[in-house]
Amino acid sequence: MWEKLHNPSFKGIEFEAFKNNSGTNRFVLTPKQWIEKTCAIGIISKSGRYGSGTYAHRYIAFEFATWVSSEFKFYLIHEFDRLKTEEQQRQALEWNLQRTLAKINYRIHTDAIREQMMPPKVSKEQANRIYASEADLLNVALFGKTAAEWRSDHPGEAGNIRDSATLTQLIVLSNLESVNAVLIRDGLGQSDRLVRLNQIAIAQLRSLLKNEHIKKLGES
């Protein structure tokens, strides 16, 4: 199976011949015969005074080892399970960190809105409309659509537009909230801020998508 997946030159017909004869008492197959007949590359056989022996790709070696030793198979499965658990915990920690940063910047963002854009003695409904309008300003700048438009496009999906964001998008969103707070305090109108924020989002996404550290975080 390893050869079929990784070796385009592997001779499957020769393999079938070996497979069909493998149940007979007279069947013998050396590593050298296997390599020569099937053009296998996953196993290497060397002979000589130095460096002699048979070597295999680690996946193939693992398969041989698990066949020979049930104890090795148990420890291999246990180690795989441990590594996957650690990976999931790390992903959850990184995601929560980005969500926390976004929430902190969102507070800076809403404070700027309240200080600069709220008229005196507004109702709770009026305040919520202004906050939602500014949140959608960031959504359009980064995602190209409002929260309502995203829900319309994803009727069966749980969460909201920001819950579905990638790690890179969350980083940019966090930055945009801080930038928008500054632009609000500078007195820029919403339409001007949208154009400026969109330009910043594009520039930051291009930069971050080239960043190997961000790629590794996103893949982990």
Higher pLDDT, 100 or 86: 86
Residue pair 136/173 in contact (Cβ under 8 Å)? The answer is no
In-domain check, residue 75: no
Q: Which two tokens stand for residue 12?
A: 């499957």
| 112, pLDDT greater than 60 | yes
Tell whether 85 and 170 lie within a shared domain. yes
Tell whether 25 and 105 lie within a shared domain. no
Query: Which residue type sits at 44?
Result: I
In-domain check, residue 46: yes
Higher pLDDT, 118 or 38: 38
Tell whether 91 and 155 lie within a shared domain. yes
| 42, pLDDT greater than 90 | yes
In-domain check, residue 12: yes
Longest dimension (CA), the chain: 95
Tell whether 10 and 88 lie within a shared domain. no
Total count of domains within the chain: 2
**Of 68, 100, 126, which marks where a domain is finished?**
68
User: Domain range holding 38?
Assistant: 2-68
Residue pair 7/40 in contact (Cβ under 8 Å)? The answer is yes
> What's the whole-number average pLDDT of the chain?
82
**Of 18, 34, 68, which marks where a domain is finished?**
68
Tell whether 56 and 90 lie within a shared domain. no
Residue pair 94/220 in contact (Cβ under 8 Å)? The answer is yes
pTM of the model: 0.45
Mean pLDDT over 108-122 rounds to: 63
Tell whether 33 and 118 lie within a shared domain. no
> Pseudo-torsion of CA 208, 213, 215, 219, nearest 10°?
-150
**Of 10, 45, 68, which marks where a domain is finished?**
68
pLDDT at 211: 61
pLDDT at 51: 65
Tell whether 89 and 185 lie within a shared domain. yes
In-domain check, residue 76: no
pLDDT at 157: 84
Banded model confidence at residue 199, pLDDT cuts 50, 70, 90: very high
